[in-house]
Amino acid sequence: MKLPDMHQADPIPDAALEAVTALLRSGDLFRYTAAADAPVALLETEFAALMGSRYALAVSSCSAALFLSLKALDLPADARVLIPGFTFAAVPSSVLHAGCVPLLCEVGENYRVDLVDFAAKLPQVQAVIISHMRGHTSDMDAIMAMCDEARVPVIEDAAHSLGTLWHGRKIGTIGWIGCFSFQSYKMINAGEGGILITDDADLVARAVIMSGAYEHNWKKHDVLSEAFARHQNRVPLYNLRMSNLSAAVIRPQLPLLQERVEAGRRNHDHLAARLEVSPNIEVPAALSGEARAPDSIQFNLSGLDDDAVDDFVRRTDAAGVKVQVFGRSTDNARAFWNWQFLHDQPELPRTRAMLMRACDVRLPVRLTRPELDAIADTLLKAVQQAAAHKLAVA
């Protein structure tokens, strides 16, 4: 069985091709030109309905959505924002961009927020961003109980969690605001794009204006006009709008989401079950109450020293499966020590130990069972050889 190209993005459905062609013929790419029913506006209505939230605002990226969420919360100057120590560099960056100060929280070997460290640091912050990193859901019941008690707003970074459920609730709808990405490696591929959802009219009104709804363009949003009247001309315009072109690429993919989620979960669980026979591989289980929507798999290597871990990565690479160990690949944007733009360099021993053994493999939802088995065979053989080589050298 030939190994698939796991880095190729997913193709865009033909329906998008027709929508894009019509759009290009009309030249109507700016979301606020049409009086009504612009593709971006339709996407917002459809996405809010899909998620069961009151409002949605489509923007240029998930990073932009996180930035606007923080700005729209109207936090005091230099507010501290608690974020997980295991996330993508865009998250601490959006905090800095919003004029806030990130405070990092430990993450456990199951890739989820360490609740003891979270509770200890919560009294020091004015807002929280929970990154469900690689789609791994942290215990949202415990987090929301603590944050509600402390009256601290929670933003969910659900970039990789579109379609994930937590006790039947959609991830991204549990916190005050949920942010999603349409970058090519996420469940819905538009190259670039993001969207935020919330039930708070006042907050979304601020975010809409700041995203670039200058003058009275907010009238083309489905939000109460009193909310806009309060903020007109009082908040800056950052111009982070989505183009109609992106919306035309995204909309035909929304009806495919459920199918992709189920395929992703099936693929992930099959590969996880195969990998777990190895004494050197551990795939952290989902939390009870969590129904995942994976487009990648993460697992921890055990019983291997640094050299053997690097040996495993070299062997898989040579065989045609790209594995990244977050903490051992050079300049990885998900390793907190590479965020040298932070003023205070944090030390998070638990998170660091996890990153040094946690492997990351992309798993496009289109993979077939024989392809998944070929990937499993490659990984199992490489880990066995790396472990045996280590013994032989010792």
Ligand X SMILES: *Cc1c(COP(=O)(O)O)cnc(C)c1O
Residue ranges in contact with ligand X by CB under 6 A: 61-63, 87-88, 90-91, 131, 133, 157, 159-160, 181, 183, 194
| Nearby residues of 332 by Cβ (< 8 Å), 6 or more positions away | 324, 326, 338
Query: Which CB atom, from 69 or from 280, has the smaller least distance to ligand X?
Result: 69
Q: Which is nearer to ligand X, 10 or 202 (CB)?
A: 10
Phi-psi domain of 135 (left: phi exceeds 0; alpha: psi -120 through 50; beta: other): left
Nearer to ligand X, 37 or 331 (CB): 331
The least distance separating ligand X from the CB of residue 157, rounded to whole angstroms, comes to: 5
* DSSP per-residue codes, 256-270: GHHHHHHHHHHHHHH
CB of 112 to ligand X, least distance (A): 13
For the chain, the 3-state helix, strand and coil shares in percent, each to the nearest 5, are: 45, 15, 40
Minimum CB–partner distance for residue 113 and ligand X (Å)? 13
Residues 231 and 209: beta-carbon distance below 8 Å = yes
- The answer to whether 35 touches 45, Cβ cutoff 8 Å, is no
Rounded least distance, CB 156 to ligand X, Å: 10
- Pick the closer one to ligand X by CB: 183 or 316: 183
Q: How far is the CB of 52 from ligand X (least distance, A)?
A: 22
C-alpha torsion angle, residues 117, 123, 127, 130 (rounded to 10): 20
Q: How far is the CB of 90 from ligand X (least distance, A)?
A: 4
In the bound state with ligand X, the residue whose beta carbon lies nearer, of 110 and 131, is 131
Identify the three-state secondary structure at position 181: strand
- The residue (of 39 and 194) whose beta carbon lies closer to ligand X is 194
CA–centroid distance for 19 within its chain: 27
Q: Which is nearer to ligand X, 133 or 304 (CB)?
A: 133
List all residues 6 or more positions away from 392 whose beta carbon is below 8 Å from its beta carbon.
none
Which lies closer to ligand X via its Cβ, residue 62 or residue 304? 62
* Helix or strand (DSSP H, E) at 251: none
* Cβ closest to ligand X, residue 68 vs residue 223: 68
- CB of residue 91 to ligand X, shortest distance in Å: 5
CA dihedral 309, 310, 313, 314 (to 10 degrees): -140
Long-range contacts of 380-384 (CB under 8 A, 24+ apart): 380/274, 380/275, 380/277, 380/278, 380/281, 381/315, 381/319, 382/312, 382/315, 382/316, 382/319, 382/321, 383/278, 383/280, 383/281, 383/301, 383/304, 383/312, 384/278, 384/280
Question: What's phi and psi for 176, nearest 5 deg?
Answer: -65, -35
CB of 191 to ligand X, least distance (A): 10
d(CA 393, CA 388): 9
What is the distance between the alpha carbons of residues 82 and 337, in angstroms, rounded to a whole number?
Answer: 17
Tell me the closest approach of the beta carbon of residue 1 to ligand X, in angstroms: 30
